[in-house]
Chains A and B, each alone.
Chain A
Amino acid sequence: MLRRTIIRILIFCLTVWVAITVNFIIVRATPVDPIAGILGRMASKGQSVQGGAEIVAFYRDTFALDEPWPVQYFMYLRQLLSGNLGYSLAYFPATVGDVLLHAIPWSLGLLLTAVSIAFVVGNLLGALGSWRRAPLVLRGLIYLSMTISAVPFYLLALILLYLFAFMWPILPTGGSFTVGSTRDFSLATAIDFIRHAILPVGSIALGLVGFWALSMRGVMTTVLDEDYLMYGRVKGLRERTLFLHYGVRNAILPQVTALAIDMGQLISGQVLVEAIFNYPGVGTVLFNALRTSDYFVIQGVVLFIIVSVSLAMLVVDLVYPLIDPRITAGEAGR
Chain B
Amino acid sequence: MTALLEIRGLVVGYGDAPPVLGPIDLDMRAGELVGLVGESGGGKSTLSRAVLNDLPAGANILEGNIALNGVPLYPVQPQAWRAIRWKQIAYVPQAALNILNPVRRIGAQFGDMVADHYGVALAGEWMQKVIDVLTAVRLEPAVLRCYPHQLSGGMRQRVCIAMAMLFQPQLVVADEPTSALDVVSQRLVLQTLLELRDKFGTAILLVGHDLAVMAQVADRIGILFAGQLVEYGPARAIFKEPAHPYARRLLQAVPSIRVRSDLPEATFPSEADRQHWSDRSIPMRLVGPNHQARCETQ
A–B contact at 8 Å CB threshold (below):
yes
User: Which A residues have a C-beta under 8 Å from some C-beta of B?
Assistant: 226-228, 230-238, 241, 245-246, 249-250, 253, 324-326, 329-330, 333
Contact B98 A235 (CB under 8 A): no
CB distance from B126 to the nearest CB of A (A): 15
CB distance from A75 to the nearest CB of B (A): 50
User: CA A235 – CA B94 in complex, angstroms?
Assistant: 14
**Contact check: which of A237, A246, A249, A329 meets B113 at CB < 8 Å?**
A237
The answer to whether residues A231 and B93 also contact, given A241-B115, A325-B103, A333-B150 and a CB cut-off of 8 A, is yes
Selected A-B contacts with CB under 8 Å, 26 pairs: A227-B93, A227-B98, A230-B54, A230-B93, A234-B52, A234-B85, A234-B91, A235-B85, A235-B91, A235-B113, A236-B83, A236-B116, A241-B115, A245-B108, A246-B101, A249-B101, A250-B101, A250-B103, A324-B103, A325-B102, A325-B105, A326-B102, A326-B149, A329-B147, A333-B146, A333-B149
Contact B113 A227 (CB under 8 A): no
| B74-106, CB < 8 A from A | 81-87, 90-91, 93-94, 96, 98-105
CB distance from B238 to the nearest CB of A (A): 29
Name the CB-closest residue of A to B49: A234
**Contact check: which of A228, A236, A238, A245 meets B98 at CB < 8 Å?**
A228
Name the CB-closest residue of B to A252: B103
CB distance from A332 to the nearest CB of B (A): 9
B81 CB contacts on chain A under 8 angstroms = 236
A253 CB contacts on chain B under 8 angstroms = 103
User: CA A330 – CA B147 in complex, angstroms?
Assistant: 9
B160 CB contacts on chain A under 8 angstroms = 231
Check B25 for interface membership: any CB of A closer than 8 A: no
Contact A245 B85 (CB under 8 A): no
User: CA A234 – CA B150 in complex, angstroms?
Assistant: 24
CB distance from B197 to the nearest CB of A (A): 20
Check B112 for interface membership: any CB of A closer than 8 A: yes
A249 CB contacts on chain B under 8 angstroms = 101, 103-104
User: CA A289 – CA B160 in complex, angstroms?
Assistant: 64
Contact A245 B150 (CB under 8 A): no
Contact B116 A226 (CB under 8 A): no
A226-B98, A325-B103 given; 19 more Cβ-contact pairs under 8 Å: A227-B99, A228-B100, A228-B101, A231-B99, A231-B160, A232-B112, A234-B85, A234-B91, A235-B90, A235-B91, A236-B81, A236-B85, A236-B117, A237-B113, A245-B101, A325-B102, A326-B102, A326-B147, A333-B149
Contact B86 A235 (CB under 8 A): yes
**Contact check: which of B82, B84, B100, B112 meets A245 at CB < 8 Å?**
B112
B82 CB contacts on chain A under 8 angstroms = 236, 238
User: CA A230 – CA B54 in complex, angstroms?
Assistant: 8
B86 CB contacts on chain A under 8 angstroms = 234-236
User: CA A233 – CA B93 in complex, angstroms?
Assistant: 12
B112 CB contacts on chain A under 8 angstroms = 232, 235, 237, 241, 245
B147 CB contacts on chain A under 8 angstroms = 325-326, 329-330, 333
The answer to whether residues A245 and B104 also contact, given A226-B98, A228-B99 and a CB cut-off of 8 A, is yes
**Contact check: which of A233, A238, A245 meets B54 at CB < 8 Å?**
A233
| B156-173, CB < 8 A from A | 160, 163
User: CA A228 – CA B54 in complex, angstroms?
Assistant: 14
User: CA A236 – CA B103 in complex, angstroms?
Assistant: 19
B90 CB contacts on chain A under 8 angstroms = 235
CB distance from A238 to the nearest CB of B (A): 5
